Structure 1
Amino acid sequence: MLPAISKKLSAVLLVCLAAWLYQAIQPPPAKICGFPNGPPITASRIKLKDGRHLAYLESGVPKEKANYKIIYVHCFGACRYDVLPVSSEVLEELGIYLLSFDRAGYGESDPDPKKTEKSTALDIEELADQLGLGHKFYVVGFSMGGQVIWGCLKYISHRLAGAALLGPVANYWWPGYPANVSEEAYGLQLVPDQWAVRVAHYAPWLTYWWNTQKWFPSSSVIANRLEIFPAADIKVLHKFDGTARPYMEKILHQGEFDSLHRDMIVGFGTWKFDPMDLDNPFLDGNGSVHLWHGAEDLIVPVVLSRYISRKLPWIRYHELPDAGHMFLLEDGMGDIIVKALVLEDGK
């Protein structure tokens, strides 16, 4: 009698444990802007073909008068207000129209449950078309936004006048990386980050739980641990804190899963193409691709960009010897990047 009761009790406990585990790993539903219990809509937005909305911000000269039209793709944990820091003098002098937008799930752009390495590139193309930017435009992306530019080069290269990748996040599982390169770079990360990207790659369904549990350290970037920043970054981080960015609470107000965690799942997942297989989209000389990376970067090891620059010699590689991951925040850096992109094309 007792053994039978014991077996039933064990079965009940297992079912309860399984139910608890299932609930623990499920992310909460997104609080979508404009929906009941969701944040209000305050941004200019377009409606995409699939029904999602994309929020955007325009700056620089009016697009009708612009010589150059640049679409900027923000980094991990940022939004449309974190625009490419180009001085008003350079915007006016060169005639630059600058467009930034909230990537899916960030700010006031609807989440994209079908997000892939291709989808953001197509969002950019549709945004450009709905705002009437013409057939050609430039794209610039920083960090996780820089990784998005690979998708632009793969899927919408025919629409690009030029491209710049700034400290782009790389995927340790891209087939083009030799094992010694990817293993070296992977080992340069802090141990919590090694685990965080490993979970995102091999067990994406655990990503939300892994980065919200309190038992052991998760992603250092999400936790904003200062040890991931070298001295060069520490000097400029005040430009990325709450004082300099009063809109910070709105960046993730739809939920962390459809912004931060989905970024990790896509960024470190299995891609349908390898950036190192890309061909030069500007063989006619009417455009160029630039890759900028800080040699002291502790978030994205520079060895990854060095290898890509050797593998793809048509990319104009700029390594900054004393800079970290946040080099874009250094005074005048945005002006330097933009001038190199739009004034040196084809030269």
Structure 2
Amino acid sequence: MFNQIVAVSSIGFLAWAFRSLRPPPPTICGSSGGPPVTAPRIKLRDGRYLAYKEHGVPKETAKYKIVFVHGFSSSRHDLAITTWKIVEELGVYFVSFDKPGYGESDPDPKRNRKSIALDIEELADQLALGSKFYLLGNSMGGQVVWGCLKYIPHRLAGATLLAPVVNYWWPSFPANLSEEAYYQQFPRDQWALRVAHYAPWLTYWWNTQKWFPAASAVAGKPKFSQQDINLLSKLGGTEKQKAYVTQQGEYESRHRNLMIGFGRWEFDPMDLKNPFLGNEGSVHVWQGDEDGIVPVILQRYIARKLPWIHYHELPGAGHLFPFADGMTEAILKTLLLGEKYPAAEKN
């Protein structure tokens, strides 16, 4: 009798564990019971749909065409870093898109660095952006830019990475340096990133269970600097934005983003070669030296390893520095016109 009770209890525990570990299926936009489709979308090579949004001057008259890649808890609507004045002055056309699983873009269970680079290439082709276009990635969108520099460098006229999130397990980082940077993070993030890297199949459970704190970015409590706190008032509508970002499910949007960003990469960004040997374009990394989310010491190391990167370090700036007054103009003029920003010299 005791053995039977143990057996039944074990089966019950395993069933509970299976349900807890297994993420629910996504609620696909346009499906029965799913969120409605309100955005323009393109159909990709594998049948998925990618939602996008056009900003700036008309594409037909634009002097520059830029594809914008949003960050971790953002979407195609997140282009608040730009101002109409500078966009009109320079003649810039932007297209932003919801990354797979975010907003109204179909999830991609096979998403990786190469697949999203190819998504961007298809977006550019279907919107007729020409043989080359510029790329601008913010925060975790910067990781997508590294993938594009690896897989579609021939399509880029130039690229900018704004506070690009690093992966502590990139092979080129000296162990002592990556360890120092890793332990600057909240303990909750140290654990969440370990899970995403070493046991990605536990990512959904870790960030939804109630015993241990989830990743601070998932919980909406990232390690902000004083400048970030001061700038947060510019980012109104956080709850509405979060609802849109995750409307197809947390797992296929933010959780998968963690797994891809902090998992095992098939290439090391520090092994990349300069895609613009003829100086026909340039790559820029902008970083605040008080960024609590992306350790500046790792960004400095990347800049030393890749001397062809134009590295701009901003004193006193945090992770949200792109929203600070004057930064839009500096970022765009540096990328498009080659102008120098006085406070952003090579470190």
Q: TM-score, normalised by structure 1?
A: 0.95
Match of 1:43 in 2: 39
Q: Given the alignment of the two structures, is residue 8 of structure 1 paired with residue 4 of structure 2, yes or no?
A: yes
Of all paired residues, the percent bearing the same amino acid is 60
Match of 1:276 in 2: 270
Q: Given the alignment of the two structures, is residue 111 of structure 1 paired with residue 107 of structure 2, yes or no?
A: yes
1:200 CA drift (Å): 0.3
1:246 CA drift (Å): 4.8
Match of 1:167 in 2: 163
The amino acid of 1:172's aligned partner reads: Y
Match of 1:239 in 2: 234
Match of 1:22 in 2: 18
1:176 CA drift (Å): 1.0
1:197 to 179, 193, 208: 193
**What are the Cα deviations for residues 241-290 of structure 1, in whole angstroms up to 9, with x where unaligned?**
327x8544212111110000000000011111100000000000000000
2:324 to 318, 325, 330: 330
CA distance in 2, matches of 1:129, 1:105: 21
CA distance in 1, matches of 2:299, 2:241: 32
The amino acid of 1:294's aligned partner reads: G
Q: Does the 8 Å CA contact 1:84/1:334 hold for their aligned counterparts? A: no
Match of 1:74 in 2: 70
Match of 1:120 in 2: 116
What are the residue-to-residue correspondences of 1:149-168 with 2, within 5 Å?
Answer: 149-168=145-164
**What are the Cα deviations for residues 70-117 of structure 1, in whole angstroms up to 9, with x where unaligned?**
000000011000015222121111111111010001110000100112
Q: Does the 8 Å CA contact 1:79/1:106 hold for their aligned counterparts? A: yes
1:184 CA drift (Å): 0.8
Tell me, what secondary structure is at the counterpart of 2:195? helix
2:207 to 202, 206, 211: 211
**What are the Cα deviations for residues 191-216 of structure 1, in whole angstroms up to 9, with x where unaligned?**
00000000000110110010011112
CA distance in 2, matches of 1:274, 1:169: 14
Q: Does the 8 Å CA contact 1:86/1:332 hold for their aligned counterparts? A: no
CA distance in 1, matches of 2:51, 2:329: 25
5+ residue gaps in structure 2? 340-347
CA distance in 2, matches of 1:247, 1:296: 26
The amino acid of 1:81's aligned partner reads: H
Q: Given the alignment of the two structures, is residue 259 of structure 1 paired with residue 217 of structure 2, yes or no?
A: no
Match of 2:27 in 1: 31
Match of 1:249 in 2: 243
CA distance in 2, matches of 1:41, 1:102: 12
Match of 2:343 in 1: none
1:119 CA drift (Å): 1.4
Match of 2:225 in 1: 230
CA distance in 2, matches of 1:318, 1:108: 34
Q: TM-score, normalised by structure 2?
A: 0.95
Say how many residue pairs are matched.
340
1:135 CA drift (Å): 0.3
**What are the Cα deviations for residues 9-49 of structure 1, in whole angstroms up to 9, with x where unaligned?**
21221121111101101111111100001000000100001
Q: Does the 8 Å CA contact 2:80/2:323 hold for their aligned counterparts? A: no
CA distance in 2, matches of 1:86, 1:241: 15
How big is the alpha-carbon RMSD for the aligned residues of Structure 1 and Structure 2?
A: 1.4
The amino acid of 2:20's aligned partner reads: A
CA distance in 1, matches of 2:245, 2:37: 13
Q: Does the 8 Å CA contact 1:85/1:335 hold for their aligned counterparts? A: no
